[in-house]
Amino acid sequence: MPEPDEINEQLRAYVERAGVPVAASEARARGERHIARRRRAALGAVAAVALLAVGGTIAIAGRDGGGKGAPAATTVSTPKVSVNDSTTSVGTVPCCDVPTTTSTALRETTGTWGSIVTTGDGVWALRRQPSAELVHLDPATGIVLERSDVSHDHVAWINASTSDGTTTLVLAGSRPSRTAPGTVTAFDGITLGIKSQFPVADGPIAIAGSGGAAVWIAGDHTLTRAVLVHGSLDVGPTHSMGGAPIVDIAVDPGGQRLYVEQFDSQQRVLLSVLSAVDAHVIVPAKVVDGGPGPGLIAAGDNGVWLAQPSGTQAHLQRYLPSLLQAGHSLSGANTMQVRVDHGLVLVTLAGTTNEITCVDPELGSVRAAMSMPSGDVIESYASDGQRLYLGIVGKGIEVRPIDPACLG
């Protein structure tokens, strides 16, 4: 979900560790308790949310994977549920062996949803307009567990999480302009209260982690590691990064490699590989691509993916940890985005932004393309390895099952 008018302000969300879904009965009970609390607080009438064991419409179109041996996709359709206040509509189409999932959706008639983060504790989404609101959702059902107005905290995006097994923090970034200092805010994952805030003199540009206790915060020319210790964020020393400005960072799922993307005055994209433990250089900066603006990166176990715009379209390429190219290159719209969630490589290839494509992590070829209803504009998306969480402009967050073809 790119930021308006600046590719290098595109939203970033990175690898999170695999989540454990909450059972449907437990999720129902938690949702009902939450609704009861809101009623007792006299916050107004709360419409009952129906829990339906159905998923979302998925259409998988056959594609050329961009190279020899790319597997063709098939066409699949599954049920969909839409919840809007107290009205529930269900469209059912007979389907295949796609597993059914208890699935509801938080629906809003206004607003845009800038970023989504998934962890083992749940799903968090940031509503950017008409006012900034941080929402904690149940991962299995999409039921709202907690929500908090964060407009006074100047939160622009949520980008990563950190967990020590007992405490989960959701990390958010804000920067008034490209030349002004910004702030990183750590929210408690359960209460959504602020645990800590600290300034970043030349950022933050991005925040990345692997879902464990450590995260990295990038400024224009700095990298800072922060670690969750006994429920508090311990901010470590800052490392300087010479050369062109940093535009993106990503940490591999194992928490060992920190990939850094820089973009120079000659419109070249440079990648380097650092240790995610102490920032020592593993592979020095290397020119890998170029274009009118920087792209987005996302790290997997087998390297880093770069979605790079060229002006009229964009292409997706994987680079090994050595920064050598690997697999097929895929072409798509200039607004292409990529993220790796729980082993799944998810890409927006279509210019209509209402289609999520899953890519083979090794070959780079298309496994399946999951189309959404016409008119739905997906601004943000994430996955816990079983479900898609879609931030749809003017509607809210929808929960849909992952197509089995995406799982290999």
Q: Which residues contact 178 (CB under 8 A, 6 or more apart)?
A: none
The better pLDDT of the pair 127, 44 is held by 127
pLDDT band for position 143 (cuts 50, 70, 90)? confident
**The two three-digit tokens of residue 215, written as one number:** 């995260």
Q: What is the mean pLDDT of the chain?
A: 75
Q: What is the mean pLDDT of residues 140-154?
A: 84
Q: What is the pLDDT of residue 214?
A: 94
8 A C-beta contact, residue 12 and residue 251? no
Q: What is the pLDDT of residue 377?
A: 83
pLDDT exceeds 70 at position 44: no
Peptide bond into 199 cis (omega under 30): no
Q: What DSSP string runs through 237-306?
A: EEEE--SSPEEEEEE-TTS-EEEEEEE-TTSEEEEEEEETTT--EEEEEEEEEE-SS--EEEEETTEEEE
**The two three-digit tokens of residue 372, written as one number:** 């959404």
Closest CA to 378 of 354, 402, 346: 354
pLDDT digits (tens, 9 = 90+) for 180-237: 899 999 999 999 999 999 999 999 999 999 989 999 999 999 999 999 998 889 999 9
The better pLDDT of the pair 107, 311 is held by 311
Q: What is the pLDDT of residue 36?
A: 39
pLDDT band for position 17 (cuts 50, 70, 90)? very low
Tell me how far CA of residue 55 lies from CA of 7, 99, 103, 303, in angstroms. 33, 8, 6, 32
pTM: 0.75
Long-range contacts of 96-101 (CB under 8 A, 24+ apart): 96/404, 97/404, 98/55, 98/58, 98/401, 98/403, 98/404, 99/401, 99/404, 100/53, 100/54, 100/55, 100/401, 101/53, 101/54, 101/55, 101/140, 101/386, 101/387, 101/399, 101/401
pLDDT band for position 107 (cuts 50, 70, 90)? low
**The two three-digit tokens of residue 147, written as one number:** 């929500």
pLDDT exceeds 90 at position 159: no
pLDDT exceeds 50 at position 289: yes
**Which of 135-144, 179-188, 245-254 holds the top average pLDDT?**
245-254
Amino acid at position 342, single letter: H
Q: Which CATH number fits domain 7-407: 3.40.1010.10, 3.40.50.300, 2.130.10.10, 1.10.1660.10?
A: 2.130.10.10
**Which of 32-41, 150-159, 331-340 holds the top average pLDDT?**
331-340
Q: What is the pLDDT of residue 33?
A: 40
Q: What is the pLDDT of residue 333?
A: 87
Find the radius of gyration of the CA atoms of the chain.
Answer: 20
pLDDT digits (tens, 9 = 90+) for 46-91: 232 222 232 332 222 222 333 323 333 332 333 332 222 222 222 2
8 A C-beta contact, residue 227 and residue 234? yes
pLDDT band for position 329 (cuts 50, 70, 90)? very high
8 A C-beta contact, residue 306 and residue 295? yes
